[in-house]
Amino acid sequence: MQQDVADFIKECTTCQSTKLRTTQPKPPLYPITTEPNTLPFETIIMDFIMKLPKSEGHDMILTITDQACLKAMLFLPCKEQINVEGVATLYAQKVFPHFSIPRKVISDRDTHFMARFTKELCRILQIQQNISSAYHPQTDGQSEQTNQ
């Protein structure tokens, strides 16, 4: 009888749909691939540790982690009111003099934040950006000639 009940429960759609799951399915992993022979802080991960008690006027920490080479971490104190310009300034002052500009920045912030961060970092470091759109030779004609 025990086997009959077990078989019935296995085949019963109502029993299966209301059965409690004791383990949650794991989401698929999307590993971050890195280039071989990368230098320190060429691939970085930026994040914030928020809602901290105030310490010397700071209540948040900007974390910058070297993803590929050393797995080293930098912890930069800041305030929760920090904006994109402030984050770029912190990077330019504290990270850039030691490790240069990253090739890849990974962040859970939206693309608007990252675009503004990149633009502000270029402004601070006096890197002139001249962004063009695809297939417009009036702005990038030299590269289009090179590609031909």
> What confidence category does residue 5 fall into, taking pLDDT thresholds of 50, 70 and 90?
confident
pLDDT value, residue 148: 53
| Overall average pLDDT of the 6-25 stretch | 78
Enumerate domains of the chain plus CATH numbers: 43-129 (3.30.420.10)
> What confidence category does residue 137 fall into, taking pLDDT thresholds of 50, 70 and 90?
low
Question: Cβ-count burial of 62 within 10 angstroms (0-12 exposed, 13-18 middle, 19+ buried)?
Answer: buried
Q: Please state, in angstroms and rounded to a whole number, the distance separating the CA atoms of residues 85 and 117.
A: 7
Per-residue pLDDT tens for 57-74? Answer: 999 999 999 988 888 999
Per-residue pLDDT tens for 87-117? Answer: 999 999 999 999 988 988 889 888 899 999 9
